[in-house]
Amino acid sequence: MLKIHKTIKNTEAVFELDGRLDTTTAPELELELRQSLDGVENLILDLEKLEYISSAGLRVLLLAVKLLHNKGTMKVVHANDLVMEVFEVTGFSDILTIE
């Protein structure tokens, strides 16, 4: 289960993710991102309520960065311990902007 709460204001988009970002739910986020990122310059992913992320979820985060490339930046905020560890063991902590 993943709930996606999306707020877009001018060129800034905030996606709050609530639940699990896994093989089953990652396609939902991918679809939302593909439909929403036109004209977005700042994308903020708020992971405060994200309990779980697998490599299927990482794939979508990488896609988001690529979709924004040269047009905008992405920032990840409020990741929990497990999500941070997944970022660290995969080297994503070096390529994502995490706050």
Chosen residue from 52, 75, 77, 78 binding another protein by CB under 8 A: 52
Q: Shortest CA distance to 37 belongs to which of 13, 10, 70?
A: 13
Question: By CB under 8 A, is residue 65 in contact with another protein?
Answer: yes
Chosen residue from 35, 38, 66, 99 binding another protein by CB under 8 A: 66
* Smallest distance, another protein to C-beta of residue 9, A: 26
Q: Tell me, rounded to whole angstroms, the distance of Cα 91 from its chain centroid.
A: 16
Q: For residues 43 and 33, what is the distance between their CA atoms, to the nearest angstrom?
A: 10
Nearer to another protein, 8 or 78 (CB): 78
Helix, strand, coil in percent for the chain, rounding step 5 = 40, 35, 25
Chosen residue from 3, 5, 6, 69 binding another protein by CB under 8 A: 69
